[in-house]
Structure 1
Amino acid sequence: MTDTLQEVKREYEGGSSRPLGSYARVLGMYGGAVSVLLAAARLTGRTGPDTVTPMDLALMGLFTHRLSRTLARDTVTSPLRAPFTRYAGVSGPAELREEVRGAGLRHALGELLTCPFCLAQWVATGYAAGMMFAPKITRMAGATMAAVAISDWLQLAYARLMKAADERHD
């Protein structure tokens, strides 16, 4: 069995070094977290909503987008990523570019923590759990992060407009 797994790993990697075993551990951590949340919901008699309204979905989407980017790219959250990454510069307004370092699980976690697209599933799962266990607080957190996301987009749009106006006057 081990030989077969090693062969699959070699064929998948195609000459690159990929921490497949560590990715499997990260997947296991996610599955374990979801299992614990489901067990806690069952033990406490919590059930999900009968429906998810378009407003709930929009709030969850904006929350997930903003918190994922905050965790993965924000300067202030860099101490959370520091054990797994190395500073590599600025990637955009108020965002850092970091390189993943280490091997094995450290590398896999670094990839997860620097990828807002990868973190989104974890964040959305946390939001869904929050809606089961503390919906009022979760909605307030969702509204807060949604407001931050909208503010970010407005700041970027304003900066573009100012730049365009300056270019017209030059």
Structure 2
Amino acid sequence: MPGMHHTARAAVRAHEHDYAPDTELPLGGYAAVLSSFGTGVAGAALLARRTGRRAPESLGTRELVLLTLATHKLARMVAKDAVTSPLRAPFARHRGTEAPAEMAEEPRGKGLRRAVGELLTCPFCLSPWAASALLVLHAASPATARTCLTGLSAVAGSDFLQYAYAAAQQRHSPQD
């Protein structure tokens, strides 16, 4: 798709810039973010055990595909959608747009604030959080989880079709 390669390359360059050798990493902030993730997962496991809920021993192919698509979409929604920008605003600086319907933001501040900003602006970084939340939901309420997974997967598929449609329009439209 036209523009997709350019966008992916720009994202890689921006990511490399964030971790340039002369960049001071907010290691204390990372430790706090990791601790909160671990605490959340452990808390969910403990709550599940106390309430008698159990995670499925395995996911079927259909559930795994839905979980994969839903994780992708949920992570991108949190990291890139305009309507979720109030969640990122205390931790990220708005820089415009980088793709159709996606915000371009960069982490701000130092320490924990920067670490949270890096997490909230990076769909790759958010994916483990999104997958874990969806798996906890699956263990707590399988029917609700299936509904959420199906809905988020449908939106991810729709996004792909929107990009394909836009690329087809560009390819077949008369050039100025």
Q: TM over 0.5: same fold?
A: yes
Gaps of 5+ in 2: 1-19
Structure 2 equivalent of residue 29 of structure 1? 36
Q: Determine the C-alpha separation between the residues in 1 that align with 2:106 and 2:126.
A: 16
Correspondence for 1:154 among 141, 144, 161: 161
Structure 2 equivalent of residue 94 of structure 1? 101
Compare 47-56 and 32-41 and name the one that shifted more: 47-56
Matched, 1:165 2:137: no
Identical amino acids, percent of aligned pairs: 45
Matched, 1:41 2:48: yes
Give per-residue Cα distances to partners, 1:131-155, cap 9 Å, x unaligned: 1101111110111111101011101
Correspondence for 1:113 among 112, 120, 127: 120
Aligned residue type for 2:133: G
Q: Determine the C-alpha separation between the residues in 1 that align with 2:88 and 2:24.
A: 22
Matches within 5 A, 1:51-90: 51-90=58-97
Find the residue that maps to 1:36 and give its secondary structure. Answer: helix
Find the residue that maps to 1:77 and give its secondary structure. Answer: helix
Q: Determine the C-alpha separation between the residues in 2 that align with 1:14 and 1:69.
A: 27
Compare 43-52 and 90-99 and name the one that shifted more: 43-52
Shift of residue 106, structure 1, vs aligned partner:
0.5
Q: Determine the C-alpha separation between the residues in 2 that align with 1:157 and 1:42.
A: 45
Find the residue that maps to 2:98 and give its secondary structure. Answer: strand
Find the residue that maps to 2:87 and give its secondary structure. Answer: helix
Matches within 5 A, 1:136-147: 136-147=143-154
Find the residue that maps to 1:86 and give its secondary structure. Answer: strand
Q: Determine the C-alpha separation between the residues in 1 that align with 2:37 and 2:117.
A: 15
Q: Determine the C-alpha separation between the residues in 1 that align with 2:137 and 2:161.
A: 28
Structure 1 equivalent of residue 132 of structure 2? 125
Indicate the structure (1 or 2) with the bigger Cα radius of gyration: 1
The count of residues paired between Structure 1 and Structure 2 equals 157
- Normalising by structure 2, we get a TM-score of 0.86
